[in-house]
Amino acid sequence: MKMKWSTDHVREPLLTEAEYDTLGSGVHRVSYPKGSLLVLFGDHTDFVLYLIDGYVKSVQRDPDCILGIHSPGRFIGELAALTSKPRSADLVTLTEITALFIPGDTFLKLVTGNTQLAAAMMRQLGERVQDLGIRVKSIINAEQQLARAVLEIVHSGIGEERPDGLELIGFNQRDLASLSGISRESVSAILKPLKESGAVTIGRGRITIHDLTPFEVIAQRVDHALLPGRAT
């Protein structure tokens, strides 16, 4: 039997095709192939794209994390125009896309002069913030679970002291993933900045903790009572 896919998430486009040619100065159609980098994190640009066809993802760096998938009938990149701040994420095409290129000043005039569109934009931004909050919460929980797993190993007395730190012989990233209840990929992403800062090094079948403080700081964001050896 053919599966019936839910279409409850499908929304009416924010703009009609008849409105495309009435948006103001500098607005024109653009097309990009799959895998194109539309916006780079930190860029000081303020143009906005209105997706006509295709899908785009917004990506956070260090660690890489998809913040959202943008579908046709929606504006993307509008925060830079609204806040005059640098781009907060990369925008990368998931498929070939067709979009309207809208200069930042034209976009602001469009929104301020159309209360119905402004209200729709507010709803779109609200939904995006809500979705992002859920994703960020998940990322933070993963960091805390991993930090508590490392502290659990350290406080168990298994580690061996070396001149440069505490060596957790026999442990690898897969073991940390199993102990903390998160994916190996998540462990690798979370440990990356800690390795770069010199807090930890990863070898074959061994992990050396050079500075336990960052792990304690991350773990303490949850609850001091959850840390092994901590008084309530």
Domain parsing of the chain, residue ranges: 17-113, 141-226
Distance CA 209, CA 220 (A): 18
The predicted structure's pLDDT at residue 160: 80
CATH-assigned architecture of domain 17-113:
Sandwich (2.60)
* pLDDT tens digits for range 79-123: 888 888 999 889 988 889 999 999 999 988 888 887 777 777 777
If you ran DSSP here, which 8-state letter would residue 154 be given? H
Q: Which CATH class is domain 141-226?
A: mainly alpha
DSSP for 160-217 reads EEETTEEEEET--HHHHHHHHTS-HHHHHHHHHHHHHTTSEEEETTEEEES--HHHHH
**pLDDT score of 203 more than 80:** yes
Q: What is the mean pLDDT of the chain?
A: 79
Say if 17-113 and 141-226 have the same CATH topology.
Answer: no
Distance CA 87, CA 172 (A): 36
The predicted structure's pLDDT at residue 79: 87
In the structure, how many helices (H) and strands (E) does the chain have? 6, 12
The set of residues, in sequence order, having a beta carbon less than 8 Å from that of 172 and lying 6+ positions away, is: 202, 204, 205, 206, 207
Mean pLDDT of 204-226: 76
The predicted structure's pLDDT at residue 140: 57
Q: What is the pTM of this model?
A: 0.54
Token digits for 2?
């053919």
Mean pLDDT of 191-210: 89
What type of residue sits at position 231?
A: A
* pLDDT tens digits for range 13-37: 888 888 888 887 899 999 999 889 9
**pLDDT score of 152 more than 80:** no
The predicted structure's pLDDT at residue 98: 96
* pLDDT tens digits for range 121-138: 777 777 666 555 544 555
Q: Are 121 and 75 in contact (CB under 8 A)?
A: yes
Dihedral sign (CA 149, 153, 155, 160): negative
